[in-house]
Amino acid sequence: MKIITYMKPSCGWSNGVRAIMRKYDLPFEDRDIINDSEHRQEMIQKTNQMLQPCVEVNGKMLVDVSGEEVEAYLLSNSLVNINEKEADVPTDRACESETVNVKFKP
């Protein structure tokens, strides 16, 4: 299986995708879209959008996905077997530092 990811080096969503790769011990190419403009342009060209993470699995592009969604895709397409091991970071959210709480006055 060939997996290429287009992600930020530090991002809750990206780290969630990486956690799924570790959970299933999957080799993948991690393309940095922040520090490498060629990787960012390649992602935009392949997906026609700028949101990340994007994960290409055997030529099929999963766009703007969480680790949870990547895991569901891999399982539903029988690319991995069910694994009861827990992911080592959350696979379905942004980093705490990226979360903004907005409080409205009554």
- Are the C-beta atoms of residues 50 and 11 closer than 8 Å to each other? no
Q: How many domains does the chain have?
A: 1
pLDDT band at 93 (very low <50, low <70, confident <90, very high): confident
Give the span between the Cα atoms of 43 and 47, in whole angstroms: 6
The answer as to whether 96 is a domain residue is no
Residue span of the structural domain in which 62 resides = 3-82
pLDDT band at 50 (very low <50, low <70, confident <90, very high): very high
pLDDT band at 92 (very low <50, low <70, confident <90, very high): confident
Output the domain CATH number for residue 39. 3.40.30.10
pLDDT band at 35 (very low <50, low <70, confident <90, very high): very high
Give the span between the Cα atoms of 3 and 77, in whole angstroms: 14
Give the span between the Cα atoms of 13 and 43, in whole angstroms: 16
pLDDT (mean) for 82-102:
74
pLDDT computed for residue 106 by the predictor: 57
